[in-house]
Structure 1
Amino acid sequence: MIDLSIEYLFRKHYSRLCHFAWQILSDNELIEDIVQDAFMGYWNNKHTIANNDIAIKNFLYTSVRHACYNIIRREKVEQRYHLLNQTETVEELQTIAKIIRAEVMDEIYKIIQTMPNGCQSIFRLGYLEGLTNPQIAEQLNISINTVKTQKQRGLKIIKSKLSPELFSLLTLVFIEG
């Protein structure tokens, strides 16, 4: 049995192990740490490893390979975690936006019910059902100017009865809705 010194083993295998690890990870700083850890692992466990070059080489390569794959696994887990967090954040924001939209729309519906009948129907057709001014005028058999006037009147009523915060959100509701 030959007592292979750690310095001899390091000189003999270090660059090969680094190249081997680089093929898996391509990160020089990590690779150097991994290879050095493999040598430390050998040194701490040398009494359980056969004292020949082949067994030592197998131990070192296996240690490096396992360390590289562990890093890859950890990175994949971290990527999945970040992706899930981003997805949850987007979903939370979408849910909050839906809640806000529902609250604003509820207030608007309540206010619309207080409008005079003509204003109410024109406002509903124009803003809630998406009809154009000419379509509303044709459907209700009124002039386009009457439609415009009643829509403006409806907006003034909503603006006067809706809290300033909700009125600011009104624009967002109709833009995103």
Structure 2
Amino acid sequence: MMVKRHSEEHIEMFPEVLFKKFYPRLCDFACYIIKDQEVAEDVVQDAFVVFLEQKENISSHPNAVKSFLYSSVKHACLNKLRHHKVIDTYCKKIPFETLDDPKLLDGIIHAEIIAKIHQAINMLPVDCAMVLRYGYLEGLQNRKIAEQLNISIDAVKYQKQKALSLMRVMLGDTVYLLFIAFLMHK
């Protein structure tokens, strides 16, 4: 950002010179506010990007350029501080120990098992999957399933038995037992 003086009141904004002139002092200013050199440098670089995108709308007067850059850095720093404050408040309300909470882990395990069950159901032959969904997930009686699918009650019983035996093979014994427990609590 190069700066060429046409007069004492106006400057032409060449990025290299402008950057060299203001970058160090803006970094110091940002670091004074947020107390983190790396974040301060990022904030200042972002301020220069915004400046370059909007420089057509900014006066070329040195004080206007300086004011714009300092204001941009100040607002960006304050936004960062607000963001960190929100994160800190959230972390204090929900401590990291919560991640080890057995109920949370149970919820994760439950979600994974349900996903495996649905994946296995989707791999069943269509008739078996429909009978399984109607009978076990929606709780319909064999008679209702037979009516809906326009098949006999014996066919419904056969499809249920076939679906359960295929599910056992696809899920393995442990997950299958969890599947049965899931069906009992439905």
Q: Which of the five TM-score ranges fits, normalised by the shorter chain?
A: 0.3 to 0.5
Q: Kindly indicate whether structure 1 or structure 2 has the higher relative contact order, using CA contacts under 8 Å at least 6 residues apart.
A: 1
Query: Structure 2 length as normaliser, TM-score?
Result: 0.46
Query: Structure 1 length as normaliser, TM-score?
Result: 0.48
Larger radius of gyration: 1
